[in-house]
Structure 1
């Protein structure tokens, strides 16, 4: 099941993506199909994993009625971030691909040894924007704006000290996230400013449930800037896989339903290239993850 948050006729809604590029208002679809579906992604996640599975099964068994007044053409609506205002900060995982560890050590003075445990950081909720929305480039804060294409994991269940063997049972779905980084604003090793500026976490376009993804640890991730490929990696090369990440985070801090985890980026970031490359106003960055879709955002000047 592919889910979106979208805006149509001035209202924000939860949507189900059907074939032929159709989006059904999920709440109205639910009413027509005997299900009490909420009107937001956070509300849906709050209904729990069993409700998700029942809804997904019914979506697969139901043909969308193109003539229903709650069905829209995908191109005719405004696609929002899956959770336009996340419930809390995004968990970020740094240096989670071997080759990215090496390129970061060369260019960013990080340790060239492979991490023995997850490097965990946080991105505030103000960073989240939708596909198509602009990433703001503040020239007074950075001259080194970088891209990081990543698989996002959205939790549907919380927990504390979750064991790795149980961790995948917490996963609600997957999306795409671009962990934008201002490489020249890592203040004495603290990453919150570098990664936490407004618009620094484009996300979407969809949240896809696990029954649609055969193996989240075998997905191709491609990043393009102005149509030119910069990253081409695969989630099979994660140092710490999703169960280990959830286990590690929850070993020290409880995880909650609707938590978002950005699982790390493969090699090919701008800081690791020779010569280094950065994004500037007028550029466009696109992240593609197979089975999920394409997340595309322009860069605009926001210098004050």
Structure 2
């Protein structure tokens, strides 16, 4: 299944994408794409619904029908740093022996095609296309061989980062990761059963038509199951929690000289099987 949230900001409704790429309304069945609806039992109930029996929503998604972040009520937005060996090299940093965990404040979450408001004093706002994990059944101290069963699905995330704030403002990456709009999620949540191998997905990002990132999840240092198991040692994961799993090389900071976003520029990014995003810096 491909689950979506559609409508104006702040009043999104739950839906699913049918076989023709049109949105079907799920409001009669779930309050939102959140919480219990993302557990194994919740997803099983949604799979049992015939999409043709659901009301068809007017408009074409991502054209004349706005999509919001594909998950609502996110309690934790975690992320993993330097999880691609080739990205660590371009950042002049060592490949970590354990996953580097940090947080993106949930107030940064945005729709996949919403404008990106650059902070007024931003000097180094950067892009990072990433595979996102959405937690289904929660838990703590999840065993590695059980971790896959705790993943509801996957999505595209742009882990937008202000590098000056992240690296030069007295510690903690979080300062550069959580500004408003710095966490576009979606366009849809693709349930895990539709992704044969999350470590064999091509992911890419362009700015004004120039391809900067073009990589594969095959080069991740730690895979989704390892990340879920590891993170659950330090925090109890809950349904709807989101984890960004790191980015391949090609970020602005890694260019020579570095290249950062300017107002008016447009990012396009995507992952095989998970859809595409588009953000304009304003």
Normalised by the size of structure 1, how large is the TM-score? 0.86
Distance change in 2, residues 1:213/1:168 (3 Å): same
How do 1:1-304 and structure 2 match up within 5 A? 1-7=1-7, 12-28=12-28, 37-43=29-35, 45=37, 48-56=39-47, 58=48, 62=50, 64=52, 69-75=55-61, 76-84=64-72, 86-105=73-92, 112-140=93-121, 142-186=122-166, 187-300=169-282
Supply the distance in 2 between the matched residues of 1:252 and 1:20 (Cα, whole angstroms). Answer: 42
Classify the secondary structure of the residue corresponding to 1:41: coil
After superposition, the CA RMSD in angstroms is 1.8
Query: Quick one: structure 1 residues 63 and 224, their matched pair in 2 at CA, closer, same or farther if it must change by over 3 Å?
Result: same
User: SS at 1:230's partner residue?
Assistant: strand
Stretch moving more, 262-271 or 207-216: 207-216
Shift in Å, 1:70: 4.1
What CA distance in whole angstroms lies between the structure 2 residues aligned with 1:202 and 1:6? 14
Residues in 2 aligned to 1:135 and 1:71: alpha-carbon distance in whole angstroms:
26
- Which has the larger Rg? 1
1:201-253 deviation line (CA, Å, top 9, x unaligned)? 11111011012111111100001111111101111111011111111111122
Query: Shift of residue 11 of structure 1?
Result: 5.1
Q: Greater share of helix residues, 1 or 2? A: 1
Distance 1:16 1:38 in 2: 11
**How far did 1:101 drift?**
0.6
Q: Which is strand-richer, 1 or 2? A: 1
Corresponding residue SS for 1:279: coil
Deviation string 1:242-301 (CA, Å, 9 cap, x unpaired) is 11111111112211111100000011100001121111100111111000110111100x
The count of corresponding residues between Structure 1 and Structure 2 is: 277
Please list every run of 5 or more consecutive structure 2 residues that lacks an aligned counterpart in the other structure.
Answer: none
Mind listing any 5+ residue stretches in structure 1 that lack a counterpart?
A: 29-36, 106-111
